[in-house]
Each structure stands twice: as structure tokens, then as C-alpha cells.
């Protein structure tokens, strides 16, 4: 029996592009496609880039990389997002809870929150990602979503009870901006979930958390506590400020 691929490996199925660009979305390299996922019995239908690798040859992406080392990671579906969706769907939530999703990409995690009755602000550095997530939310009939183009280095003066981020820890240079944003935008008593597919960089991120004044706990996909970050496998890092409530298994179920 072959070993399963690491959770940090992006999914690259061969997809047939749609014949035309859906109304309300821009043309993109490789075109758009439509896919469906069923998680915890709930069906999610999405429009998303048909060939994310096609962005790597795009002149606009090259220019953005030269300006800011930008990479079009938003266009890929990451397997950790499917496991985070399962966690969100299995968790009891107070209706109307306000959530900020960071680095939303195609927006699957945000839609899971909307499906649970939460008020989700779906954010990304890439405007096309925000447009896509809002397109998919509207298409699914969710009216409690809002979109935000967000540079982590320049967060707005607004706070949320929850902050979610999936597959954000792939580069060291992102860690401090994410943590500074969390310190500013996480409401008192709030909780942040940072889901990671098992990248080696996660250990550095966890080591920074106490230095930045946060408590944290780590869980696997079955919500079992982990003693330390692991490589190649899904992990959910739950972050709180000291004194804002317990951080541990009882707060995640």
C-alpha cells in the first residue's frame, strides 16, 4: 500500500475549463472550471481556476513577484483546507459569530463558516481571490459574507471574535505580520485557528507565539492534542491571549 501524500501538497487534478468566463469574474490564465466537494455530508460547489500552474507564466504575476515576491498560491486547492472545513462543520457555533478569514484563496473555508450561520469576512491579498470567494458565496445563497482585500502588513482597525487562516505558514517572512495582525484584530477573549498541512515552518511560528504574548495548543484532524508541530500532516494551531479563557480540547469541540 502506497503512503498517502503529505497534507502540504497542493491538489492538482486535471480539470476541463468552462467554455466561457462566468459573468462577474475576470478572465484568468487557464480559464475557470467548476468542482464539487462533499465534506461531513455537506456539498460545496465551486468555480475556481482550471489550471493554477498557468498563472506561473503570466506577465502580471511575474511583475507582482518582482515587486513583492508575490506567488499565486490562492489559485490552488490545498488538502488541509478540506480538513479544516470538516472541523468547522463538526464544531458548535453561536449563530452570527463574526469571523475573519485570512488568505482565503478560493474561499472554501469561508463558505464552511457561512454554511454554519457565521458572519464571515473573507480576505486575501489578491483581489481576484476575494472576487472569486464572494462570487461563490453569492452563488450558494449566502448573504452574510463580506469581502476584504487585506495586506497583513497594514491591518485595518477592526476586531473579530474569531480569526481563521489555512496554509499561511509556508514562509518565515509571513509569521511576524500574521502575528501582529492577530494582536490587533483579535477581539479580547477571541480565538484564532491557524491550520497547517505539516510544513517545517510551523515550528518557528509556534515558537514565536509566546514571544508575542499568545498561548497556543495544537490538534490533529481528529481534534486530539499534539505535543509539538509535526511535518507532512495536518495540524490546527489554536491561539489565544493569556487569561482570555482556556486553550485546549474543550475550547475546540
Q: Grid coordinates representing 218?
A: 495544537
Q: What residues of the chain score a pLDDT lower than 50?
A: 1-3, 246-250, 253
Q: Grid coordinates representing 250?
A: 474543550
Yes or no: domain 75-252 corresponds to CATH 3.40.50.150: yes
pLDDT for the residue 162: 98
Separation CA 35–CA 134 (nearest Å): 16
Q: Cβ distance 23 to 250 under 8 Å?
A: no
CA nearest to 25, candidates 114, 110, 130: 130
pLDDT for the residue 78: 84
Amino acid at each position: 500500500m502506497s503512503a498517502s501524500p503529505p497534507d502540504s501538497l497542493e491538489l492538482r487534478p486535471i480539470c476541463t475549463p468552462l467554455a466561457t468566463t462566468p459573468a462577474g469574474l475576470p478572465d484568468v490564465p487557464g480559464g475557470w472550471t467548476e468542482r464539487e466537494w462533499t465534506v461531513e455530508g455537506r456539498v460545496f460547489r465551486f468555480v475556481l481556476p482550471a489550471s493554477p500552474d498557468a498563472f506561473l507564466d503570466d506577465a502580471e504575476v511575474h511583475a507582482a513577484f518582482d515587486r513583492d515576491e508575490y506567488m499565486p498560491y490562492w489559485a490552488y486547492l490545498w488538502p488541509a483546507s478540506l480538513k479544516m472545513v470538516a472541523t468547522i462543520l463538526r464544531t458548535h457555533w453561536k449563530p452570527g459569530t463574526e469571523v475573519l478569514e485570512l488568505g482565503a484563496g478560493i474561499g472554501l473555508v469561508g463558505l464552511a463558516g457561512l454554511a454554519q450561520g457565521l458572519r464571515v469576512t473573507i480576505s486575501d491579498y489578491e483581489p481576484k481571490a476575494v472576487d472569486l470567494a464572494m462570487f461563490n458565496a453569492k452563488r450558494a445563497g449566502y448573504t452574510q459574507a463580506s469581502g476584504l482585500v487585506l495586506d497583513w502588513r497594514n491591518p485595518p482597525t477592526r476586531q473579530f471574535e474569531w480569526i481563521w487562516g489555512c496554509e499561511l505558514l509556508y514562509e518565515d517572512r509571513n509569521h511576524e505580520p500574521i502575528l501582529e495582525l492577530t494582536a490587533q484584530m483579535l477581539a479580547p477573549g477571541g480565538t484564532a485557528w491557524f491550520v497547517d498541512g505539516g510544513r517545517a515552518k510551523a515550528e518557528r511560528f509556534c515558537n514565536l507565539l509566546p514571544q508575542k504574548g499568545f498561548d497556543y495548543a495544537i490538534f490533529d484532524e481528529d481534534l486530539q492534542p499534539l505535543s509539538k508541530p509535526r511535518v507532512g500532516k495536518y495540524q490546527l494551531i489554536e491561539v489565544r491571549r493569556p487569561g482570555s479563557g482556556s486553550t485546549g480540547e474543550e475550547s475546540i469541540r
